[in-house]
Amino acid sequence: MSVSDNLLHIKSTLPEHVTLVAVSKTKPVSDIMEAYNAGQRIFGENKIQDMADKYEAMPKDIQWHMIGHVQRNKVKYMAPFVALIHGVDNFKLLEEINKQALKHDRVINCLLQIKIASEDSKFGLAPQDAIDIIQSEAFLALKNVNITGVMGMATFTDDETQIESEFKLLKSTFDDLKTINPIIAPLQPFPWE
């Protein structure tokens, strides 16, 4: 099945309110262009340098999402164009994103990464740490970041009860964050979705 056929099939199965992020990591520009020509405009990369290279080579109406772990020293390379950073797992990273966004006179949307799995290999904030950040004066002073939600990586297991429990914790944390700080709001669908 071609990239465009596969994409169209997947999109036909999704509810209208779901936004598809096509993970383009490791894929050549030619494959991404095929998806683009089939109407896909949101792509996710897990390496900042790869995303920056593809940004330069691709049409500029693409919304680029950073879906991998982010190192503070590399934020500057994506700050001019990234649409959403999925994995903000500490306050120092938020400060760096804010600093780089300010340099480019823009606001960068971010998801707080919450650690919901017990695996040591997973990154993320403890739910209480996320709450503490959102309540802090230091966070309220950041004018160039916008927290639009949370993300979490469940334990790699076939135990559906455990996975469900972990995502319930994620949803509960998001609800708590929205109650504490009403400026936290999910992104609206992009106009072409």
Q: Where are the beta strands (DSSP E) in 8-140?
A: 22-23, 42-45, 63-66, 84-88, 108-113
Q: Tell me the CATH number at 115.
A: 3.20.20.10
Give the pLDDT band of residue 187 (cuts 50, 70, 90).
low
Q: Are residues 17 and 52 in the same domain?
A: yes
Range of the domain at 16: 1-68
Mean per-residue pLDDT of the chain: 91
> Are 112 and 172 contained in the same domain?
yes
Residue 79: inside a domain, yes or no?
no
Q: How many CB atoms within 10 Å of residue 176?
A: 15
If one compares 80 and 193, the residue with the highest pLDDT of the two is: 80
Shared domain check, 90 and 58: no
Question: By mean pLDDT, which of 15-19, 66-70, 148-152, 165-169 is the weakest?
Answer: 15-19
121 lies in the same domain as 178 = yes
Do both 63 and 94 map to the same domain?
Answer: no
What pLDDT was estimated at residue 1? Answer: 80
pLDDT-above-90 percentage for the chain: 81
**Do the beta carbons of residue 80 and residue 93 sit within 8 Å?**
no
Are 89 and 180 in the same domain? yes
**What span, in angstroms and rounded, lies between the C-alpha atoms of 2 and 67?**
24
What burial class does residue 169 get, using C-beta atoms within 10 Å of its C-beta: 0-12 exposed, 13-18 middle, 19+ buried?
A: middle
Cα–Cα distance for residue pair 53/62, rounded to 1 Å: 13
Quick one: 54 and 143 in the same domain?
A: no
Of the three residues 38, 68, 98, the one that is the final residue of a domain is 68
Task: Domain count for the chain, please give it.
Answer: 2
**Would you say how long the chain is, in residues?**
193
pLDDT of 118 strictly over 50: yes
Task: Say whether both 150 and 104 belong to one domain.
Answer: yes
4-53 residue pLDDT tens: 899 989 999 998 888 899 999 999 999 999 999 999 999 999 999 999 99
In a domain, 102, yes or no: yes
| pTM of the predicted model as reported, rounded to 2 decimal places | 0.90
